[in-house]
Amino acid sequence: MAKNTNQDNNNNNFFNNNPLLAFALFSIVIIMLFKSFVGEGEGLGNMLETNSVTQTKTVKYSDIKAEIAKGDISSVKLTPSTIEAISDVDGRKVRYVAQNVPTYDKELIPLLEEKKITYEGVMGGGFLSELISSLLPILIFFGIWIFLAKKMSKGMGGGILGAGKADKLINSEKPDTKFDDVQGVEEAKDEVKEIVDFLKFPERYMELGAKIPKGLLLVGPPGTGKTLLAKAVAGEASVPFFSVSGSGFIEMFVGVGASRVRDLFAQAKKEAPSIIFIDEIDAIGKSRASGGQMGGNDEREQTLNQLLAEMDGFGTDTPVIVLAATNRPETLDAALLRAGRFDRQVLVDKPDYDGRLAILKVHSKGVKLAQNVNLKIVAKQTAGLAGADLANIINEAALLAGRFNKKEIEQADLLEAIERSFVGLEKKNRKISDVEKRIVAYHESGHALMAELSKGATRVTKVSIVPRGLGALGYTLHLPEDEERFLKQKYELMAEIDVLLAGRAAEEVFIGEISTGAGNDLDRATAILKDMITVFGMTDIAGLMVLKRSQNSFLGGGAISTEYSEKMAEDIDTYIRSTLNERFHFVKQTLRDYAQAIENMVGVLLDVEVIEGKKVREIIDAYETENNLPTRLAHTEKIAKAAAKAKEEAEAEQ
Ligand code: ADP
Ligand code: MG
Ligand code: ZN
């Protein structure tokens, strides 16, 4: 790349780009020259006198004092560090100058008085040095200002004083990434394979007159391998890969982004066949209709227009493919998605079980795994994670193994790494009080018990009262044992709600006082119920009518409500409140039935802080055997009965 030449250029053009700095340096040089010509310690006043002075002698202070004593001196000028004496003998004026005068000489003034010599004190070194000393701070200030401005504009790639050059923001490389490095996104790989072939043998396609898409939009949640896939396309075709991030285009200065787009396309065309990759294209391609942010809007529009013009500007005879990535396709301007631009979208979604296993295999190639490692279990326990998270788990496990001086990564390291990625880092140094600990122990035991008893709830992997991450004082980990689920039945959602309510229920039943610890649980329980009514048509409230349409659910959000009546809104609120109440009653009753099991769990938790799921089940089993209760597997019936009873109770209360 032309990186080096650009640097040199920068130096040569430094003064052209910085007229002010040039001026400042020039003035300093002139002043210096002037100063050394006139001589140190000379004042402007003396310069005027030089006409009548025939000779100037630089002498020692003691010599001047001797001359004064002799009575030959007619006038004296004093500055804080110099003395200048004019002798006037027979009309021949001689000037004596002494530097570094000892200022503590108390005899001088009385001596001058005695000899009746006119003397005057001059502050500083006279007019010229005063000029310098008053100008210097200003010059320094300007120097610093220009320096900073220069630096700033470099950081932003152009700007105040320099024209923007895109070289530094456009990355050019020839990646050796291959399709085998990208796993779990098989459909997406199939879709881009055609492009690889086109880039490898462009003539074939051009002769046939085949139309190959110019632009292709990779859409999917963060960390799923969009960038990786784009690189793999370049790697497989062995063509240059020009990448740039959308946010890098947007500058404070109008026009810079557009010129950068021009540069990007010029470079890519010069080295065709090639690939252009625009990451985070939503930063430039945001819908113009949605605009409205202060500033930057003009700039974004210009950049976007330039991008559109460039994409329209080359035909299928130029083997350049533009790939772009976004995780917010719904925000993109419609113009970007029109035919001949990014008219094809490829979904790069989160991996399923097989995909996760394949990704784990790719990333464990570079590390040492112990014999006991079973990646299948790791893949099973990481449902919902993206490729980047999985790569991170392998790395985290390697760090853990390294910390304990192990030669290989063991299964335990991987499992610990999974937990960390789910619940954030363990905060060993965070102390919680014994009171808090007790509350958390009952709260979490409640969740755990309910999760084990409810048919349809995910079984408990681990219960802990060691605080982790932000805000979480304790946690009950439920990891799906089987493949991740795409469908949930109604009874499973209800079980989830019961488990969520059990934390608060345990506090109320066993401590007799409630805490703020359940806030998040209640929020989630409410949300599930609301979705059951408004999205999934699972209740009588709205029947099958959908009141909320979900958009892009794979990107985890963006549900929009459709219009519904105030009466309906009221009904929804009433239903949610009464259902939560009803379930809460039922959960409390179940906890009371299993009080001793809860106490046993809390005992262990307060002791060792962590219980594995297996131990939880042992405690419950032991309790059930002791009390001749039906075993957990037959428990569903009991729960159904208890639910009916709880409902009666709730109704009686109202
Ligand atoms: P995105 O661009 O979608 O946000 P990246 O491509 O930047 O995600 O992924 C970051 C890293 O995570 C990759 O460099 C790779 O190490 C890992 N990774 C992500 N997805 C995959 C995948 N599908 N297969 C293998 N590794 C992946
Ligand atoms: Mg990326
Ligand atoms: Zn909770």
From the candidates 191, 299, 419, 444, which is the catalytic residue? 444
Phi, psi (degrees; rounded to nearest 5) at 255 = 105, -20
Q: Is 330 a catalytic residue?
A: no
pTM, two decimal places: 0.55
Q: Measured between alpha carbons, how far apart are the two ends of the chain, in Å?
A: 78
Residue of minimum CA distance from atom 15 in ligand 1:
388
DSSP code per residue over 204-251: HHHHHTPPPPSEEEEE-STTSSHHHHHHHHHHHHT--EEEEEHHHH--
Closest of 24, 53, 25, 26 to residue 39, by C-alpha? 53
Enumerate the CATH 1.10.8.60 domain ranges in the chain, comma separated: 353-422
pLDDT score of 43 more than 70: no
Query: Once rounded to an integer, what is the mean pLDDT over residues 564-568?
Result: 88
Query: In whole angstroms, how far apart are CA 260 and each of 265, 306, 309, 444, 627?
Result: 9, 9, 13, 55, 76
- Lowest mean pLDDT: which of 262-266, 350-354, 477-481? 477-481
Among all chains, which residue has been given the structure tokens 């919680």? 432
Q: How far is CA 46 from the centre of its chain?
A: 66
Query: Which of 580, 597, 610, 582 lies closest to 452, judged by CA?
Result: 597
Nearest CA to ligand 1 atom 25: 182
Looking at residue 429, its pLDDT comes to 45
Strands 215-219, 92-98: pairing is: unpaired
Q: Looking at 216-230, 350-364, 451-465, 520-534, which range is the least confident one? A: 451-465
Share of the chain above pLDDT 90, in %: 28
Residues 42 and 136 sit within 8 Å (Cβ to Cβ)? no
Token pair, residue 106, equals 């108390």
Residues of the chain with CATH 3.40.50.300: 171-347
Cβ(387) to ligand 1 under 6 A? yes
Nearest CA residue ID for atom 5, ligand 1 = 225
Q: DSSP 3-state assignment of 477?
A: strand
Q: How far, in Å, is the centroid of ligand 3 from the Cα of 477?
A: 11
Name the more confident of 85 and 390: 390
Q: Is the CB of 183 under 6 A from ligand 1?
A: yes
Distance between CA atoms of 218 and 243, rounded to whole angstroms? 14
Check pLDDT > 90 for residue 141. Answer: no
SS3 content of the chain, % helix, strand, coil (to 5): 55, 15, 30
Least confident segment among 42-51, 85-94, 237-246: 42-51
Pocket flag, ligand 1, residue 182 (CB < 6 Å): yes
Closest approach atom of ligand 1 to CA 351:
23
Cis, bond preceding 273 (omega within 30 deg of 0): yes
Whether residue 184 has its Cβ less than 6 Å from ligand 1: yes
Residue 12: the pLDDT is: 39
Asked if 98 and 63 count as a contact pair (C-beta separation under 8 A), the reply is yes
**Is residue 51 packed enough to be buried (19+ CB in 10 Å), middle (13-18) or exposed (0-12)?**
exposed
Please name which ligand lies nearest the alpha carbon of 448.
3
pLDDT above 90 for 626: no
The amino acid present at 621, given as its one-letter code, is: D
DSSP string, 388-437: HHHHHHHHHHHHHHHHTT-SSB-HHHHHHHHHHHHH--B-TT----HHHH
Instruction: Establish whether residue 222 lines the binding site of ligand 1, counting it when its CB lies within 6 angstroms of any ligand atom.
Output: yes
| pLDDT beyond 70 at 295 | no
Atom of ligand 1 at shortest distance to CA of 230?
Answer: 6
User: 171-347, superfamily in CATH?
Assistant: P-loop containing nucleotide triphosphate hydrolases (3.40.50.300)
Distance CA 257, CA 241 (A): 20
> What is the location of CATH 3.30.720.210 in the chain?
41-122
Interatomic CA distance for residues 551 and 524, integer angstroms = 20
Per the CB < 8 A criterion, the answer to whether 321 and 191 are in contact is no
Please return the burial class of 360, using the count of CB atoms within 10 Å of its CB with bins 0-12, 13-18 and 19+: buried
CA of 308 to the centre of ligand 3 (A): 51
210 C-alpha to center of ligand 2: Å?
30
Alpha carbons 275 and 614: distance in angstroms, whole number: 53
- By the 8 A CB rule, do 473 and 465 touch? yes
Cα 520 to averaged position of ligand 3 atoms, centre (Å):
7
Smallest-distance ligand from the CA of 444: 3
3-state secondary structure at position 493: helix
* CA–CA–CA angle 470, 474, 479 (5° rounding): 100
Residue 262 tokens, joined: 């021009």
Task: Identify the nearest ligand to the CA of 443 by its number.
Answer: 3
Classify domain 434-643 at the CATH topology level.
Answer: Methane Monooxygenase Hydroxylase; Chain G, domain 1 (1.20.58)
For residue 127, is pLDDT > 70? no
| Residue 326 DSSP SS3 | strand
**Residue predicted with more confidence, 186 or 631:** 186
Counting atoms of ligand 1 from 1, which one is nearest the CA of 325?
Answer: 2
Tell me which H or E stretch contains 86: strand 83-89
Among 112-126, 134-148, 397-411, 630-644, the range of highest mean pLDDT: 397-411
pLDDT digits (tens, 9 = 90+) for 432-466: 677 888 999 999 999 999 999 988 888 888 888 87
| Ligand nearest to the CA of residue 386, numbered in listed order | 1
Tens of pLDDT along 53-101?
Answer: 777 888 888 887 788 887 778 888 877 777 888 887 777 788 888 877 7
Q: Which CATH class for the 353-422 domain?
A: mainly alpha
| Local confidence band at 521 (pLDDT 50, 70, 90 cut-offs) | very high
Whether the CB of 228 sits within 6 Å of ligand 1: yes
Residue 236 clears pLDDT 70, i.e. is over it: yes
**What mean pLDDT is reported for the chain?**
78
Q: In a mutational test of the pocket of ligand 1, which residue from 228, 233, 278 has the highest number of ligand atoms less than 8 Å from its CB?
A: 228
CATH 1.20.58.760 domain range(s) in the chain: 434-643
| Contact yes or no for 337/228 (Cβ under 8 A) | no
Confidence at residue 391, expressed as pLDDT on a 0 to 100 scale: 94
The alpha carbon of 348 and the centre of ligand 1 are apart by a number of angstroms equal to 10
CA of 243 to the centre of ligand 2 (A): 11
Which helix (H) or strand (E) element contains residue 325?
strand 320-326
Task: Give the tens place of pLDDT for each residue, 401-444.
Answer: 999 899 999 999 999 898 887 765 444 445 567 788 899 999 99
Task: State the distance from the centre of ligand 2 to the C-alpha of 12, rounded, in angstroms.
Answer: 37
Pick the CATH number of 41-122 from 3.30.930.10, 3.30.720.210, 3.40.30.10, 3.20.20.70: 3.30.720.210
* For ligand 1, atom 12: residue with the closest CA: 388
Which one has a higher pLDDT value, 581 or 305? Answer: 581
Angle between helices 566-593 and 490-506 (to 10 degrees): 60
- Is 223's C-beta closer than 6 angstroms to any atom of ligand 1? yes
Residue 470: φ, ψ to 5°: -90, 125
Strands 215-219 and 344-347, how do they pair?
Answer: parallel
3-state secondary structure of 469: coil
